[in-house]
Amino acid sequence: MSVVVRSKPSLRERFVDVRDFSDRITRSLSPEDCMVQSTEDASPIRWHLAHTTWFFETFVLKQDPTYQEFHPEFAYLFNSYYNAVGKQFPRPQRGTISRPGLDGIRDYRAYVDQQMMTRMESAEFLGNHSHTIEVGLNHEQQHQELILTDIKHALSANPMLPIYEDSVFDDRDSASGNWDRFDSGQYEIGHRTSEFCFDNEEPRHTVYLPEFSIAADLVTCGQFINFIEDGGYRRPELWLSLGWNAVNDDDWASPLYWVCQDGQWMQFTLAGLVPVNRDWPVCHVSYFEADAYARWAGCRLPTEFEWEFAGNSAASVEADSSESIENHGQFADRLFRDDLAIHPTRSSSGMAGAVWQWTSSSYQAYPGYRPPDGAIGEYNGKFMCNQYVLRGGSVATSSSHYRNTYRNFFPANARWQFSGLRLAR
Amino acid sequence: MSVVVRSKPSLRERFVDVRDFSDRITRSLSPEDCMVQSTEDASPIRWHLAHTTWFFETFVLKQDPTYQEFHPEFAYLFNSYYNAVGKQFPRPQRGTISRPGLDGIRDYRAYVDQQMMTRMESAEFLGNHSHTIEVGLNHEQQHQELILTDIKHALSANPMLPIYEDSVFDDRDSASGNWDRFDSGQYEIGHRTSEFCFDNEEPRHTVYLPEFSIAADLVTCGQFINFIEDGGYRRPELWLSLGWNAVNDDDWASPLYWVCQDGQWMQFTLAGLVPVNRDWPVCHVSYFEADAYARWAGCRLPTEFEWEFAGNSAASVEADSSESIENHGQFADRLFRDDLAIHPTRSSSGMAGAVWQWTSSSYQAYPGYRPPDGAIGEYNGKFMCNQYVLRGGSVATSSSHYRNTYRNFFPANARWQFSGLRLAR
Amino acid sequence: MSVVVRSKPSLRERFVDVRDFSDRITRSLSPEDCMVQSTEDASPIRWHLAHTTWFFETFVLKQDPTYQEFHPEFAYLFNSYYNAVGKQFPRPQRGTISRPGLDGIRDYRAYVDQQMMTRMESAEFLGNHSHTIEVGLNHEQQHQELILTDIKHALSANPMLPIYEDSVFDDRDSASGNWDRFDSGQYEIGHRTSEFCFDNEEPRHTVYLPEFSIAADLVTCGQFINFIEDGGYRRPELWLSLGWNAVNDDDWASPLYWVCQDGQWMQFTLAGLVPVNRDWPVCHVSYFEADAYARWAGCRLPTEFEWEFAGNSAASVEADSSESIENHGQFADRLFRDDLAIHPTRSSSGMAGAVWQWTSSSYQAYPGYRPPDGAIGEYNGKFMCNQYVLRGGSVATSSSHYRNTYRNFFPANARWQFSGLRLAR
Amino acid sequence: MSVVVRSKPSLRERFVDVRDFSDRITRSLSPEDCMVQSTEDASPIRWHLAHTTWFFETFVLKQDPTYQEFHPEFAYLFNSYYNAVGKQFPRPQRGTISRPGLDGIRDYRAYVDQQMMTRMESAEFLGNHSHTIEVGLNHEQQHQELILTDIKHALSANPMLPIYEDSVFDDRDSASGNWDRFDSGQYEIGHRTSEFCFDNEEPRHTVYLPEFSIAADLVTCGQFINFIEDGGYRRPELWLSLGWNAVNDDDWASPLYWVCQDGQWMQFTLAGLVPVNRDWPVCHVSYFEADAYARWAGCRLPTEFEWEFAGNSAASVEADSSESIENHGQFADRLFRDDLAIHPTRSSSGMAGAVWQWTSSSYQAYPGYRPPDGAIGEYNGKFMCNQYVLRGGSVATSSSHYRNTYRNFFPANARWQFSGLRLAR
């Protein structure tokens, strides 16, 4: 990847870029594709497009008494989980709403965009709302990743295994097998710059870490096949108790989207069904599978603090060599380029950017954490129960969205995200 | 309705008419509308359009070894419940399939139509397949009714209560309050002419009926409101035990699609939310509600044999006055006219054509019944358990589809059909 | 069985006999045995003992204002489903109530028995209550059969397969293979004498029956093994659609309580695990299995009217030979003898007394049926939906309880009763 | 409580004491009481008595090839969750097993006790097995607490609200309202002595804690009533998202076992229904309720590390004043006295011994944790997912079982334990 020198975009430029990117990644989808809700965890694409728009309408535009809302029912239809702004249409039934259709939702987007763009010319407006707008853009980037994971799940439910976007994968990679060792000591964890971050990345605080080592490479598909062939999914002693229940209740015998055809492991990707490449990082595994693999390998998952400290060190090495963070890893550099990475193929290119990596850390508040007042305070804090932290970003994460302190989180049985693992010991 | 004199259409003409009518009634629907599966009982409209096409492809065209199938996966995707022709895609997940989209399904329909039309020019082909084609057309007419009931349910799930088709309802009606009395005796029941009928209408056989009376009018919304206001939904002594469970488990307090707004009963129709008209026949009630109403009224539901015998008598009176059956009741005369009746408004216009009427009869085989050999034998016989017979056709039934011996059947808790009741004693 | 000549017992004598028999059949059970509720369909034995007592207390004793109730909570705890007399403790949780214990329930029985016996010395009391007492005794006899079926199910859930009562089975039998043919015509169906019957056996009424034949023998275990070995449980074309769902959802591959050990079919009985005897009547099959077997055999199940008419004919033949009905079949003659038949071993000894026989008839009201007023009216009528009629009584039915017009009924998937089948054609 | 001076008991003496105590606390229960499984979380008392015996038989006695097992099926019937020693009878069906009955289980206990007592005379045997026996005794003490919590739940399901043991509660208490402040710094956490501990309390390791304060008193019923009266159960902003789901799905409006009668809060205890005493510690709250209360109070739950460090400090103060740990708090001193505390009444008597206290800490492995090899390794480690740590012991915990480093753990929605909370900030 070449180095691009550019000045920092304005908020208005970022607004255009982020909003356009939602269009970019849904351009190839039909109205029917955008209706599917193939699991309660996922949402229809049309809902993502509307909900991200609802966010700006609700938290920015409606603060202005002169604003005319687009449709009175949308406040209810497209609210996800914000109790403070009213009731929510039941999540499992999102796939039963056909109107507004995709065209109607694009009209809604255009209307809200135009209202936002006009107002963003005013410095006073920016002064009042720039933080909320920044949250809204980061929120939309999160939903852009969900759009990719949700449409992947939706298409996989179709026995014809449709293709989202044709792609030729770059297969070259060579794992080093190295481990990076870190001394015990007190370390500072959490966000520290004046740049945007989510509330759950703060406050910056001290932790004590014992000595640890972390693998330089992600666990690969080939390594995971060894686990499978060694009976990994049939040996209860390798699993957490709830994980063993999941294996048996849901008949897990491989990562999500893998099928074995005539002795060859194949996997469904957004480019259709392709052979599993042993060098690629394993992806679409749950916390339970990541944990079982680590136990089988005689290692463990890193804590999120170990991961962050190791990630900081890696970034600082890279910073020394004068490259910007965005050009590392496999992040799609979404804001300024048009190509879309749709499957992780590099297991050895740094800490971040290929797959989200399960850590052993339960998702909890940092000491002194307080969520913001009001409805925005429902963004992160209320989910701090029975979820585990993932670090590192994925091919489906925008590079302008990611930071080393970023905390993603999902329940231990979730597999439809681009989630893999890196070992620690 | 005026009397139309016409000659009997050929099978090929009927094929065109019936297939076109499926297009006619789905013309106003968006691709998104055609995706919704709002309950497991219902199917997405796109699935109905594909499945009725699959029927001709599977049972007619594929008998011809020169036929090229449209797509190899469709045999699986669009099979409803025919075990003899292979596995079926799981019914509850029909709403998760976005491809082929609506356009792709219209292509599928056009291809099969063209293949059928060409072949139907051959007398030999007609000789071999005319009965199966006739079944296929009647099958498609059944699905046309389901298209209307399923899209009604789908739209009702949307809090914006979208309109399928604007309509001005004809409200004039005057119920007679009459009862028709019939003597006890042996009667012949079941189909007798050489015209098409389903296997479950045969063999014609003798039953003994005690003396009975049957109401000349359907139970009206106004009468049903009296039942509600008399505590009908809160008095267990009026209900079958399973019905009382349904009332409590599903919080039934009125027919499906009714809501009480500021003391006024409103009902959702395919033309949107309209006030309940007390003169209209009550509709969208389950067997349980029909049975409870009848008990409250000091009456009972008729048996299907009583209904058929009374229907025969009415038809013979009408036949004497030289009008064809199609012009009675409120049947949409679908094949030759373009207007579509979308809600029942007449409670006093004869036995048939407004709403399907629950009978007290469990759906069972007539004495000597044998289903046809092969997959077509799965059409009716295997459903003869825990369902109840409805008679009379509805506004959503094509008049060319209906006969007096016709046996419709649904489980006792089904309410999304155009189902009402007529009392007996 | 020898012929016993005796005068008809008084109601008071019958009360003692029936109440004692409940003790007789629970004598070998531990307090722990009497706690088990191994399926929602079944109830703990202690509950049966209490509920049958509650019946007399509620419907007879509490009519007397001088009666002192035994415990104020029992009205709620031991009400089964009578809405008219108050709320009911939830059925699925009957197994969680440990107090009163078995001793406390025996005290309750003794108290109510003593109160009843004293009052039954009064002719006026008998005049007012004899019908209700008769219902209560028949009710208790029904629960005596349930006590046997429920404890069988309870013990079968224990991997140690405990024995209820040791028994040596009489294995001699020889099926005739005969069919009895009956002409078509109008027949009278339903109860006709002044003896006790349940409301659902009335009114006596006329039906028309086409010519039919009915098998002289019950279907045997050997015949059913042939069905199994011919793939009976794997061939969807033999099954009703709901039956095929049950086969797959519940993994049915044989009658309930059968297991195949080293190629030998074994069955759990109240005397423990014994080999399946090919000459015994097959037992513990559902309506679905009975129907599938009949279809496989090229026959059908009889209607309940065919069964009753054939039963009447058989009884009249037997009556001519001067034996009382009680001495036919395999009924345990429970009132006057102490031996207990606990498994059906005769497939060829008449219409009644070995196993309940599924008929093809949905359980519905006879023409003109009206349930009694008041809570007793909830006894039969409200269950007339989604159940099928069984005829014939079983080894677990008291002979003094059974009549040829008796209509037993269970849902189509029920298998824990002593239920088998007889073919018709 | 008076100070008792005694020498440390031998393992054999402890064995007698602990085994006897299981008899002591089940002495008042009937065979029927010991059958109840009122929720899947709980087990029948007879199962607890058998399973704790199974533990010694499986992990100690069966290591001796000369040992004759008591019954071959018990290995399966009474295994809880140890995959390494074989399959387990399904947990939700434990309540359906009536044999062996309570007498049979007492025979099983006597047999195993006798076998153990004989062998424990051998120094070699003790040398080989003393650690496992120690685990077994601690295991039985855990089940003794479960016996009390499970029988409480079982009796509460009975509308007659039976009494386990009559008791007069000591109501005197006076909360100080004090907070104890601790400086930030590195602290050592985890077990350090040569005494017994569970594997999850090790290894001892360093953590960094920011400055914190912890309340000297437990949250009282009176304080919790203030929360309720301030709408605590109706305000989503106070709850974790999963907690808010639980409130609505399970209709939580107060702690478990509380009912409001005529404006007076009552609570079901093992001594029956008694008024809620405002000075008692609140009990039977879930993690969700503890967390919501803390948020409402403007505080938070302590981490388990804060709790342990504060507990250590308190213990050291107490140690200075020459009292043994057992005499603090409200621990029933079970081994040597016969009185049984069955409800927590002191909110101000130290860190431990009244109610288990929810901490904010997810239950996870300490750095460097490795479970033991073999089946015993399934004891703790495999449950380290979606559970939260409770500290402090309860009135139902034996004092000889408890340590300051003890980590109890339950899912966030569990309420049937003696669980309350202490605030931090």
How does pLDDT run across C224-243, given as a tens digit for each residue?
999 999 999 999 999 999 99
Amino acid at B47: W
Given an 8 Å threshold on Cβ–Cβ distance, is B241 in contact with C81? yes
> Would you say residue C263 has pLDDT above 70?
yes
Across C340-352, average pLDDT: 87
Give the C-alpha distances (Å, rounded to integers) separating B12 from B22, B55, B119, B399.
16, 16, 10, 18
Contacts B412 to C, Cβ<8 Å: 385-386
Worst-scoring range by mean pLDDT, A33-47, A188-202, D5-19, D36-50? D5-19
Contacts C38 to D, Cβ<8 Å: 93, 96
In CATH, what class is C163-425?
A: alpha beta
Percent of chain A with pLDDT over 90: 85
Confidence of residue A175 (pLDDT cuts 50, 70, 90): confident
In the prediction, which pLDDT does D32 show?
98
> Would you say residue B332 has pLDDT above 50?
no
In the prediction, which pLDDT does C6 show?
58
Across C338-353, average pLDDT: 82
In the prediction, which pLDDT does C332 show?
44
Given an 8 Å threshold on Cβ–Cβ distance, is A98 in contact with B73? no
Worst-scoring range by mean pLDDT, B2-16, B256-270, D212-226? B2-16
Given an 8 Å threshold on Cβ–Cβ distance, is C158 in contact with D96? yes
CB contact, 8 Å: A259 with chain B?
no
Query: From CA A22, how far away is CA A18, in angstroms rounded?
Result: 7
> Would you say residue A97 has pLDDT above 90?
yes
In the prediction, which pLDDT does B333 show?
43
Query: From CA B79, how far away is CA D222, in angstroms rounded?
Result: 64
> Would you say residue A292 has pLDDT above 90?
yes
Facing residue for C364 by CB, picked from B207, B362, B365: B362
- Which residue in A182, A237, A364 has the most chain D C-beta atoms within 10 A of its own C-beta, making it the best mutation to test that interface? A237
Higher model confidence: residue D170 or residue D100? D100
Across B3-27, average pLDDT: 87
pLDDT tens-digit readout, A312-333 = 988 765 555 433 333 344 454 4
pLDDT tens-digit readout, B381-423 = 999 999 999 999 999 999 999 999 999 999 999 999 999 999 9
Name the nearest CA neighbour of D417 among D198, D256, D201, D275: D256
Given an 8 Å threshold on Cβ–Cβ distance, is D160 in contact with C96? no
> Would you say residue A1 has pLDDT above 50?
no
Higher model confidence: residue D168 or residue D62? D62
> Would you say residue D115 has pLDDT above 90?
yes
Given an 8 Å threshold on Cβ–Cβ distance, is D384 in contact with A84? no
Q: Which of residues 277-306 of B touch C (CB under 8 A)?
A: 287-288
DSSP string, D239-297: S-HHHHHHHHHTT--SSTTEEEETTEEEEEETTEEEEPPTTSBP-S--HHHHHHHHHHT
Query: From CA A420, how far away is CA A394, in angstroms rounded?
Result: 9
Facing residue for A159 by CB, picked from B73, B101, B102: B73
Give the C-alpha distances (Å, rounded to integers) separating D166 from D217, D341, D398.
27, 11, 20
Confidence of residue D175 (pLDDT cuts 50, 70, 90): confident
In the prediction, which pLDDT does B56 show?
98
Given an 8 Å threshold on Cβ–Cβ distance, is D35 in contact with C32? yes
Facing residue for D96 by CB, picked from C36, C76, C77: C36
CB contact, 8 Å: D259 with chain C?
no
Query: From CA B157, how far away is CA A96, in angstroms rounded?
Result: 7
pLDDT tens-digit readout, D399-414 = 999 999 999 999 999 9
Confidence of residue C314 (pLDDT cuts 50, 70, 90): confident
In the prediction, which pLDDT does A237 show?
96
In the prediction, which pLDDT does C321 show?
44
Confidence of residue A338 (pLDDT cuts 50, 70, 90): very low
A-B contacts at Cβ under 8 angstroms: 98
Report, in this order, helix, strand and coil percent for chain B, each rounded to 5. 40, 15, 50
Confidence of residue D235 (pLDDT cuts 50, 70, 90): very high
Contacts A364 to D, Cβ<8 Å: 360-362
Average pLDDT for chain A: 92
In the prediction, which pLDDT does B5 show?
52
Q: Which of residues 305-344 of A touch B (CB under 8 A)?
A: none
Q: Is the pair D, B in contact (3+ CB pairs within 8 Å)?
A: no
In the prediction, which pLDDT does C169 show?
82
Give the C-alpha distances (Å, rounded to integers) separating C72 from C57, C62, C76.
12, 12, 8
Name the nearest CA neighbour of C302 among C389, C196, C227: C389
CB contact, 8 Å: A186 with chain D?
yes
Q: Is the pair C, A in contact (3+ CB pairs within 8 Å)?
A: no
In the prediction, which pLDDT does A8 show?
80
In the prediction, which pLDDT does D333 show?
43
pLDDT tens-digit readout, C82-100 = 999 999 999 999 999 999 9
> Would you say residue C266 has pLDDT above 60?
yes
Given an 8 Å threshold on Cβ–Cβ distance, is C362 in contact with B360? no
In the prediction, which pLDDT does B106 show?
98
CB contact, 8 Å: A264 with chain D?
no
pLDDT tens-digit readout, B30-81 = 999 999 999 999 999 999 999 999 999 999 999 999 999 999 999 999 999 9
Across C31-58, average pLDDT: 98
Confidence of residue A401 (pLDDT cuts 50, 70, 90): very high
Query: From CA A69, how far away is CA A62, in angstroms rounded?
Result: 8
Q: How far is C88 from chain B (nearest CA, A)?
A: 13
In the prediction, which pLDDT does B324 show?
39
In the prediction, which pLDDT does A340 show?
66
Please answer whether residues B15 and B136 qualify as being in contact, where contact means their C-beta atoms are separated by less than 8 angstroms. Answer: no
Confidence of residue C318 (pLDDT cuts 50, 70, 90): low
Q: Which of residues 88-117 of B touch C (CB under 8 A)?
A: none
Percent of chain A with pLDDT over 70: 92
In the prediction, which pLDDT does D5 show?
52
pLDDT tens-digit readout, B181-198 = 999 999 999 999 889 999
Across A247-262, average pLDDT: 97
Query: From CA B146, how far away is CA B43, in angstroms rounded?
Result: 8
Tell me the whole-structure pTM to 2 decimals.
0.94
Given an 8 Å threshold on Cβ–Cβ distance, is C30 in contact with D99? yes
* Dihedral angle sign, alpha carbons of residues D254, D258, D260, D266: negative
CB contact, 8 Å: D413 with chain A?
no
Long-range contacts, stretch C75-78, CB < 8 angstroms, 24+ apart: C76/D159, C77/C50, C77/D159, C77/D160, C78/C47, C78/C50, C78/C51, C78/C53, C78/C54
In the prediction, which pLDDT does A66 show?
96
Query: From CA C25, how far away is CA C49, in angstroms rounded?
Result: 11
Query: From CA A185, how far away is CA B291, in angstroms rounded?
Result: 77
Higher model confidence: residue D193 or residue C171? D193
> Would you say residue B337 has pLDDT above 50?
no
Q: What are the sequence ranges of the domains in chain B?
A: 11-156, 163-425
CB contact, 8 Å: A244 with chain D?
yes
Facing residue for B73 by CB, picked from A98, A155, A160: A160
Contacts A35 to B, Cβ<8 Å: 31-32, 35-36, 98
Confidence of residue C167 (pLDDT cuts 50, 70, 90): confident
In the prediction, which pLDDT does D169 show?
82
Given an 8 Å threshold on Cβ–Cβ distance, is B154 in contact with A98? yes
Given an 8 Å threshold on Cβ–Cβ distance, is D35 in contact with C36? yes
pLDDT tens-digit readout, A188-231 = 999 998 899 999 999 999 999 999 999 999 999 999 999 999 99
By CB atoms closer than 10 A (0-12, 13-18, 19+), residue C391 is: buried
Contacts D202 to A, Cβ<8 Å: none
Query: From CA C19, how far away is CA C117, in angstroms rounded?
Result: 11
Q: How far is B285 from chain C (nearest CA, A)?
A: 16
In the prediction, which pLDDT does D340 show?
66
In the prediction, which pLDDT does B167 show?
85
Facing residue for B30 by CB, picked from A31, A36, A73: A31
Q: Which chains touch B (3 or more CB pairs under 8 A)?
A: A, C
